[in-house]
A and B are shown apart, each in its own frame.
Chain A
Amino acid sequence: MADYDADATELLETYDFLMKYIIIGEAGTGKSCLLHQFTHNSFKDHSQHTIGVEFSSRTVKLGEKRIKLQLWDTAGQERFRSVTRSYYRGAAGAILVYDITNRQSFQNLSRWLADARALASPNLVVVLVGNKSDREDEREVEWAEASRWAAEHDVHFLETSSLTGDNVEAPFLLCARSILLSIESGSLDPDKAGSGVSYGDRALRRVNSSSRLSFGSLSGRRKKGTVKLRLKDYVPGTANSECC
């Protein structure tokens, strides 16, 4: 995780890619706090209920790539479902959050995932996040169980604490990395509308100057290997299975 922290601090003026994420999950699981940690590096005290949908953004660095993330925080309450559903349109990534101390929030995951799969683009990258990992004593959902669920549903998985800030950047970067790999493999085209990704000015300028789109580190054979290796650590059920 250390290299994620190192990579993701800078605030940058230009970027290579713009990616749209939607943050979903039951109310009270800590979605807003997670975002706040990610965008402000601090815990959001006295977090109020999210009303409908709120927006924030942050630029991160992945290797040589600068990626601007547009983050759409949604309210988990049922009555906002009709509103938040409209925001899946064209999201490239979804951060699906549950609360490890609240079994109910875990049990409802399938519903959220179904919504996401139905309404978002087919290339949607989903990262499952078990939040509030600081409250180990009150844990109601075991890591292994969630990891199994994630593997069955073909989503990435990790645990975070938006209180301590532990691991909070990882889901966002993991998601971005996954999307970049899709772009590289050709299954996702940022030029296509509705993909939730578009080129930034920085990438465009590079295109213009070299008349060839370079993916920099991700295209390089060596770096590519590194990325895959690292991704593997996060793919549920492959590595780290003894963790926690």
Chain B
Amino acid sequence: MTSSSPSTSPLVSRRAVFGSSSSPSPTHGRNPVSLRLYKVLGAGFEDEPTKEALRTLSELYGATSASGAKTTLVNGKTAKGETQVDSDTDDDDDTEEGASEEAKLSLGPFLSDEVTAPTGAAAHARKNLRRDIDVKLAGSSRKFLSALGQVDQKLDALQAYITTMRAQCDQAHTQLHTTNEACKSLLDQAGNLRQERDTVATQQTILNLFVSRFTLTSEEVIALTSRDVLPGKRFFAAMDKAVKIREDCRVLMSVDGPTKAGVDIIAATSSNLEQAYDKIFRYLTSEFQAIGRGNRDWERSVDPDANLEASPTLKEAVRRLRDRPELLSDALEVLSQTRQSTLLATFLDALTRGGPSGLPRPIELHAHDPLRYIGDMLAWLHQAIAAEREFMESLFELGRDGIGGRMIGSARKFEKGRMGEVEEWIGDMVDKNVGKLSGPLKLRVQQTLRSQESPILAYKVSNLLKFYELTMRRTIGEDAVLSEALREMSDVSDKVFFDAIEAQGRALLRLLLNLDDTALTPPAPIQEHMQMLRDILSVYESSRLDDSGRTEAEESGEDGKSKSPSEFGVERILDVMVDPALEVCLTAAEEKRRSRPSWDQAVFVLNSLTYLQGVLESYAFASTKRESLSAMIEDKVNQLVEEHYHDVLKDTGLDTVIIVLQAKDPGVPLSRLDAAQPHELSVALQKFSSWLSGLEVMHSPRLAQLTVQRLHSKIHQTALARLVKIYQRLCEEVRRPENRYEAASTLLGGQRPFGQIHLLKQIFGLGDEDE
């Protein structure tokens, strides 16, 4: 390596000198220094390196002194040292350098020993260079040798160290191995422990999850049980969780069978839940007590529908407590109590005090006007019920899905089975809350009714009550307290009404007809009586139109085509009102006839009957009564026809002949009987003829007393028709040979109507048809 670099350093130059000096010897033939030297020698000496070498060389010889003994000594070992140097130069530069240094130091005395004559140094050098150099080399080599010997010694020591170290290393290794072995089990243990730790951690997580899922946090428990946390968002959320825990637990246990933990959890949450329900119950109870009382002073107003509203929390609480019906029921009972007393107070205020500023006026202000008074009370109740119902519906969150509400007036189904549970709660509540009001209502209605003397007003009140009875049946159901009360009241009013008209009927029966009154028309008391009936029937008629609406379908559903209760009612009214009038007409008239035979009782009765019938004429629903009157009229008409016929027969003078004719023995000829002898017959026929030209053929003074003109002509015509028939029979008998009239045709043809039936009919204005 050094040889390849440009030889600027003194050392290299010196080496080059050594190399060139030793190159001729076979031993040093390959010595690079020699080679180099040769090369240098073979070249010119002008260049810088050559000059340098030469300078060195000259120094070598110039400075040497005589010390040849040493040189020889050193020379002896040259070969060996050279080898040593060669083999070591590559290993260690320091060694080589050290060696070179020593070589250099020792060169001085060697060279001086060789160069004996300094003046002739060059010649000397030329002669001895090789040997000098060899000697020098040998000296150096010996130095090398001794140095290397030391190195060798050191290396041996080093070797020993190394051996020791190796032994120690082996030992350490063994120890390490042993330790390693020992550690392995530790590591295994650690691994196991780690795994265990992971498992435990997982279990911990699961447990935490489980705990958070299956147990309530202390906050939640507080929310559920503490009296300081009012029902609200937090409370309801905790409740939801508790319920879920219980459900989940049940599900788990239904799969895995009961476990202690499960049972414990269920027990704990159940107890918390029960406390929560109790809390809801307490909350509702106090809220319900507050509703409409105390906290809002203006609620004690006369307005039946003054603010009543359920807050969202209240609704939620009610919804939750529906899981504990008995608690809800108790809470609602409290609500019902407060509502009852509040409603009662407001109702009484509305009745007696009116609004604070006097408006609206107290209902009792109109107590003198029974219809308005009772109507106002009932309307107030109706409105209170509507408000109450709305409140309950909002409390139970009913009908949230529709835009509006069902019309309260519209029919509602009240069958228990088909009604939802909530409907049932609501229905019961509304019923209970307003039920208490029926007391004061009943009291006032009955007082009003009792002081009523006018049957017609009683009847109107009765109808009003029935109208509201129907409305209430649709609104709060048939079994509701108020419906029941209304039924009772309407029964009472019915009774008052019927009592009144019955009393009036009885009074009418005591009526004696004025004996001196010759009139044949119904007397004033009867007319007044019947006018009242007319009024009653008009009220009935207008109220009956109520039924013709939707109720008809409802009611006919119950008892098919039979009459509605109101129809039974009106028949009773007709009986109670018409019968006494009829009675008076018949019996009182009979009595009068006895004392005043001249008084035409039959015409009076017929006039009375037709009057009564006339009153009922315009009422379709009175048909039954009308028909029974018609039958009586028919009888009376027939009776009158009979009487009239005989009267007429007497007037015509034919009566005796006809009696004989009708009574005769068939075997005896008519002409042989006294009254029918030709002369007598002729006289009778003459009288008949003159009667025919009289006024009474067309007009009966008696029948003219009949108020119904139609009956006059009907009776008269019927009597005349009979007259025609009997005249016809007379003619036939006279013409029969068996009756032995000699000039039958002459006898009959002597006087009008000349035995001609059609002529007689013409005179009477009767139709010509044969019967």
Contacts and interface: CB of A to CB of B under 8 A. Distances in A.
Given A14-B311, A40-B404, A58-B403, A87 B379 contact: yes
A148 to B, nearest CB: 31
A70 B305 CA distance: 9
A70 B387 contact: yes
A58 B383 CA distance: 15
Interface in B354-409: 354-357, 359-360, 371-372, 375-376, 378-380, 382-383, 386-387, 390, 394, 400, 402-409
A79 interface: yes
A82 B375 contact: yes
Contacts of B102: none
B329 interface: no
B306 interface: yes
B358 to A, nearest CB: 9
Nearest to B312: A13
Contact of B302 (A13, A122, A194): A194
A193 interface: yes
A79 B545 CA distance: 9
Contact of A191 (B298, B360, B376): B298
Given A55-B407, A85-B375, A90-B360, A199 B380 contact: no
B407 A56 contact: yes
Interface stretch (A45-53, A127-135, A236-244): A45-53
B464 A89 contact: no
Contacts of B278: none
A121 interface: yes
Contacts of B371: 82
B298 A55 contact: no
Contacts of B386: 55, 57, 70
A44 B371 CA distance: 33
Nearest to A70: B305
A40 B467 CA distance: 27
B303 interface: yes
Interface in B711-748: none
B678 to A, nearest CB: 76
In the complex, which of the residues B315, B379, B542 has the most CB atoms of chain A within 10 Å of its own CB atom? B379
B307 interface: yes
Nearest to A123: B359
B301 interface: yes
B702 interface: no
A87 B357 CA distance: 19
Interface string B541-553: 0110110011100
A204 interface: yes
A100 interface: no
Contacts of A50: 409
Nearest to B542: A79
Contacts of B387: 70
A20 interface: yes
Contacts of B406: 56
Interface string B298-319: 1001110111011110010000
A193 B311 CA distance: 22
A194 B376 CA distance: 14
B438 interface: no
A121 B403 CA distance: 29
Given A89-B379, A193-B302, A194-B303, A201 B311 contact: yes
Interface string A3-14: 000000101011
Interface in B43-87: none
Contacts, number: 142
A120 to B, nearest CB: 9
A165 interface: no
A18 interface: yes
A9 B386 CA distance: 22
A53 to B, nearest CB: 7
B410 interface: yes
Contact of B359 (A49, A54, A122): A122
Interface in A34-73: 38-41, 48-58, 70, 72-73
B510 interface: no
Contacts of A198: 298, 301, 303, 305-307
Given A52-B467, A57-B404, A200-B307, A193 B379 contact: no
Contact of B372 (A15, A82, A87, A191): A82
Nearest to B315: A13
A83 B549 contact: no
Contacts of B342: none
Nearest to B363: A89
B360 A194 contact: yes
A7 B379 CA distance: 32
Nearest to B314: A201
A15 B301 CA distance: 19
A194 B361 CA distance: 9
A9 B402 CA distance: 12
B378 A194 contact: no
Contacts of A83: 375, 379, 464, 467
A196 B546 CA distance: 29
A70 B393 CA distance: 14
Contacts of B382: 53, 55
Contact of B309 (A40, A54, A77, A201): A201
B390 A51 contact: no
B126 interface: no
B360 A89 contact: yes
A86 interface: yes
Contacts of A20: 305, 383
Nearest to A11: B403
A13 B394 contact: yes
A121 B383 contact: no
Nearest to B353: A193
B471 interface: yes
B296 interface: yes
Nearest to B303: A193
A86 B376 contact: yes
A58 B372 CA distance: 29
A114 B549 CA distance: 28
A51 B549 contact: yes
A122 B543 CA distance: 32
Nearest to B401: A11
Contacts of A79: 542-543, 545
A121 B359 contact: yes
A15 B549 contact: no
Given A85-B375, A90-B303, A48 B549 contact: yes
Nearest to B397: A13
B296 A204 contact: yes
Interface in B526-575: 542-543, 545-546, 549-551
A18 B498 CA distance: 44
Given A70-B387, A193-B303, A200-B307, A55 B403 contact: no
Contacts of B372: 82, 85-86
A205 B355 CA distance: 25
A212 interface: no
B515 to A, nearest CB: 45
Interface in A199-238: 199-201, 204-205
Contacts of B378: 86
Given A51-B409, A86-B372, A194-B302, A56 B355 contact: no
B375 A86 contact: yes
Interface in B99-125: none
A58 B387 CA distance: 13
Contact of A56 (B298, B376, B404): B404
11 contacts: A9-B403, A13-B394, A53-B379, A55-B383, A56-B405, A86-B380, A192-B355, A193-B303, A194-B301, A194-B357, A198-B306
Question: 7 closest Cβ contacts across the A-B interface?
Answer: A39-B404, A54-B409, A193-B301, A86-B379, A201-B309, A194-B355, A55-B408
Given A14-B311, A89-B360, A89-B380, 16 more contacts: A18-B305, A20-B305, A20-B383, A40-B404, A52-B546, A56-B407, A57-B404, A73-B407, A79-B543, A87-B379, A191-B298, A193-B298, A198-B303, A198-B307, A204-B296, A205-B311
